[in-house]
Structure 1
Amino acid sequence: MRLNGKISLITGAGSGIGRATAECFAREGATVVAVDVNGDAVQATQTAITTTGGNCLGLVVDVSVEEQVKRAIATTVERFGRLDILHNNAGISVLKPIIETTEADLDKLLGVNFKGVFFGCKHGIVQMLTQGGGIIINTASELGIVGQPLYSAYCATKGGVLALTRALATEWSAQNIRVNAICPGPIDTPMIHAEFNVGPDSVAEEKAVVATIPVGRLGKPEDIARVALFLATSDAEFIHGAAIVADGGKTII
């Protein structure tokens, strides 16, 4: 129960990394506010946690809309009194060469991947200042560090998350607000399988990706949830502004 009594809010909690992290935090004693744009998915996360004895409130939120993010944090505080841990995790991908990437594609990516994180940090920090501190974890990507064909716009948004994380760490560390980022590699989530399906042979696409990972498999959402758990505990209290890569060794070769 490493998070016993803590109040956490996790975006993108309807599936993948977000859901795994929500379940992990709940098992460790945290109250979880699970946020997702998909109402059915976030309800499934809430049910999975509460039926096993955890405490979870599901909220339907579009993180690209600032007022909805602000309201989600306000609701968390109204219901539970504070916000100890904020995990800005919601993200989407678009696979296109830059010459085919439309302004609408870019706006959608920026809205979820960057503005969603920015709004979460902005309003999370406002609350954390009133309570004497807190922890923010931003989901970036290995593709915020290295490039990959067809992901130029996605890479740009995730690089922005890393730059934002570093800036906020320097700005707020003295106020006991700890901001860090996780950079997952290829993780076995609905998003990556949608990416595999872009090509003509999804099985071949998956095999090609796995071949780039030294450990020989896709990551599991639980692999990233455990990194988030570490960052959410006092074990990581001297870590500020870090970009922790969890990619099975993919970026070291």
Structure 2
Amino acid sequence: MAVIDPSLMFNVAGKTALITGASGAFGMVAARVLAGAGCKLVLAAGNAEALSEIAEECREGGAEVVEVNTRPDSEAACAALVAEAVKAFGTLDILVVASGMNKVSKIDEMAPETFANVMDANVTQSWLLARAATVQMKAQGQGGKIVLVSSARGLLGHPAGYTAYCASKAAVDGITKALGCELGPTGITVNAIAPTVFRSPLTAWMFEDTDQATAVREGFLTRVPKGRLGEPEDLAGPLLFLASKASDFYTGHILYADGGYTAG
């Protein structure tokens, strides 16, 4: 066996990547790392201003970028996003589903429509995007990479009103495993990244130097072997791995980016 060149294993230069939720915390990480790795990007998000900011940042870094101000909230919208990638760059090689939502509420206080909305955003939209990407990747006949976003909460419960979120991420895990089995023979890999708490606009308060934040953070960190909360950069390496040739023999996996949280 010849010496392996790691730069070739992780090379995604020239690949077309579609990222939904590109204005969110994980979506921005995905955009930045894939732009830096030489991908052509189709970035989609509902927040037009934030979308334009991350798109321009990637362009300044040398990436070719198409921005689409839309959410993947219907079969037609998902098909249109895939079509946009093909129209702009000729192929779709990588799909990163970073869109989604969470609504925290105790079960006896949560409206059924709130539960349904979380399940739609996290589960149905992930399925619709994977479906649209699968159709295109099969037609291309060269395989492809589908990366969904799960959470440690897909494996573990939470006492603070997470029934919708935990259920939705467990379902994402199920989709990942089922599609990994189904699409294995096609060369399309399907995997998920499952982070625990990492720095984002929603969790910024946990990183603050206040009595409440310190108490919550220190209580949480007793279960994190690495002894710290996650940073956006902690998601970049796993994503590049799952988007590249390096992960060709990995499919149906949930990759926990959690500092060891789910191991204990």
Instruction: Please confirm whether the aligned pair reaches a TM-score higher than 0.5, indicating the same fold.
Output: yes
2: CA distance between counterparts of 1:63 and 1:204? Answer: 38
- 1:42 Cα deviation (Å)? 0.9
The secondary structure found in structure 1 opposite 2:65 is strand
Alignment counterpart, residue 140 of structure 1, candidates 136, 146, 150: 150
2: CA distance between counterparts of 1:176 and 1:229? Answer: 18
1: CA distance between counterparts of 2:144 and 2:131? Answer: 13
Structure 2 residue 180 is the aligned partner of structure 1 residue 164: no
Aligned residues: 251
2: CA distance between counterparts of 1:203 and 1:68? Answer: 42
Deviation >6 Å, runs of 4+? 194-197
In the alignment, what sits opposite 2:67?
58
Alignment counterpart, residue 9 of structure 1, candidates 18, 26, 34: 18
- 1:191 Cα deviation (Å)? 2.8
Q: Deviations over 1:142-178 (max 9, x none)?
A: 1101111121110000000010111111111101111
The secondary structure found in structure 2 opposite 1:100 is coil
After superposing the two structures, state which structure 1 stretch, 164-173 or 214-223, moved more: 214-223
Note if contact 2:45-2:70 (Cα within 8 Å) is conserved in structure 1.
Answer: yes
Note if contact 1:196-1:205 (Cα within 8 Å) is conserved in structure 2.
Answer: no
In the alignment, what sits opposite 2:4?
none
Structure 2 residue 251 is the aligned partner of structure 1 residue 219: no
In the alignment, what sits opposite 1:90?
99
Note if contact 2:130-2:146 (Cα within 8 Å) is conserved in structure 1.
Answer: yes
After superposing the two structures, state which structure 1 stretch, 237-246 or 213-222, moved more: 213-222
2: CA distance between counterparts of 1:195 and 1:244? Answer: 24
Note if contact 1:92-1:191 (Cα within 8 Å) is conserved in structure 2.
Answer: no
Amino acid aligned to 2:88: R
Q: 1:83 to 1:29 in 2, by over 3 A?
A: same
- 1:65 Cα deviation (Å)? 2.4
Alignment counterpart, residue 248 of structure 2, candidates 231, 237, 243: 237
Note if contact 1:45-1:58 (Cα within 8 Å) is conserved in structure 2.
Answer: no
2: CA distance between counterparts of 1:7 and 1:225? Answer: 17
Q: What are the within-5 Å matches in structure 2 for residues 88-167 of structure 1?
A: 88-132=97-141, 133-149=143-159, 150-167=161-178
Structure 2 residue 239 is the aligned partner of structure 1 residue 228: yes
Alignment counterpart, residue 56 of structure 2, candidates 47, 56, 72: 47
- 1:17 Cα deviation (Å)? 1.2
Q: Which ranges of structure 2 fall in alignment gaps of 5 or more residues?
A: 1-6
Note if contact 2:199-2:207 (Cα within 8 Å) is conserved in structure 1.
Answer: no
Q: What are the within-5 Å matches in structure 2 for residues 191-230 of structure 1?
A: 191-193=202-204, 201-202=212-213, 204-230=215-241
Amino acid aligned to 1:164: I
Note if contact 2:151-2:193 (Cα within 8 Å) is conserved in structure 1.
Answer: yes
The secondary structure found in structure 2 opposite 1:147 is coil
Note if contact 2:206-2:214 (Cα within 8 Å) is conserved in structure 1.
Answer: no
The secondary structure found in structure 1 opposite 2:51 is helix
TM-score (norm 1): 0.93
CA RMSD after TM alignment: 2.0
Q: Which ranges of structure 1 fall in alignment gaps of 5 or more residues?
A: none
Q: State the structure with more CA Rg.
A: 2
TM-score (norm 2): 0.89
